[in-house]
Amino acid sequence: MTETFAAHLYDFPKYYDLVYGSDWKAEFDFLRACFKQHARRPVRRLFEPACGTGRLLIKFAHAGYRVAGNDLNAKAVAYCNARLRRHGFPATAFVGDMADFRVRKKCDAAYCPINGFRHLMSDRAAESHLRSVARALASGGLYLLCLHLTPTVGERVNEEAWPARRGNLAVVSSMWSESIDMRKRNEVIGMTFDVYTPTRRLHITDFMNYRTYTARQMSRLLARVPELEVVATYDFCYEIDAPIDIGPDTEDVVYVLRKRLSGKSGRRRLGL
């Protein structure tokens, strides 16, 4: 018999990490390629805002990077730190707001995958987040910001599903767009976890609010934080040799933002 209930999916870090941590390699390799190609400094210290379970933090730690991150969900942070400690690394994730944070030592790069940025529900919060990242980055460092834009022409993807398995635990995650309000810039996303073990079956449902961004709205937001310049854009194919041009039909984007070198004028380089 299947147990069915509504709950916040981020409160189930074991299931969340299985689904989203199973397909880490393409992102990991792409991020490292971006560090090499676009950073203006050696990348050794990383920060992940909205790090969740730390599915990428642990991979970077094993690769020799010094890693840290923050997240509002205490259960996800505890899961992340427990895994870091289990593998012999310091517990460097902390509960904190991605919209307003500081780090003790500047990082060489930061990254935010899988639409974490869209949890910020106002332009004020989004701008504050970008300024927090800029403050945390050393000169010439990178911020890799990954999100789905809302296309203004053509069709958009309205549903996705991912299966994952580890030993006797299997999870199927489904996601769909429940509703979208372009005036209020709010999209309601529905998500389910179908969890299978030898003794239990769970069906967990959650609904979350995501802020919408058209290509033009995102461009205007980034222009308000001149400390960060857009040096390249990619899609979620994660091909370092295949940058994209953003248009009204663009949906999935990785913005490669670089902290301007000290003494450079952001206003002049933006052509304003």
Token pair in block for residue 228:
């960060």
Residues 240-257 have pLDDT tens digits of 999 999 999 999 999 999
Q: Which among 259, 229, 220 has a CA at the least distance from the CA of 135?
A: 259
Helices (H), the chain: 13-21, 25-38, 57-62, 74-86, 123-136, 215-223, 266-269
pLDDT attached to residue 39? 98
CB-neighbour burial class of residue 42 (10 A; exposed 0-12, middle 13-18, buried 19+): exposed
pLDDT attached to residue 262? 73
CA angle, 256 then 105 then 77, to 5°: 75
Q: What secondary structure letter does DSSP report for 118?
A: G
Residues contacting residue 241 through CB under 8 Å, at least 6 positions apart: none
Taking 3-state DSSP, the helix, strand and coil percentages for the chain, each rounded to the nearest 5, stand at 30, 35, 35
Q: What secondary structure letter does DSSP report for 72?
A: S
CA distance 128 to 99: 5
CA angle, 253 then 257 then 261, to 5°: 170
pLDDT attached to residue 269? 34
- Look at strands 186-196 and 201-211 and give their pairing: antiparallel
pLDDT attached to residue 261? 86
Residue numbers of the chain with a pLDDT score lower than 70: 263-272
* Residue 60, SS3 per DSSP: helix
Residues 161-191 have pLDDT tens digits of 999 999 999 999 999 999 999 999 999 999 9
Domains of the chain: 2-6+152-211 (2.20.25), 11-151+213-269 (3.40.50.150)
Region for 248 from its dihedrals, namely left if φ exceeds 0, alpha if ψ lies in -120 to 50, beta otherwise:
alpha
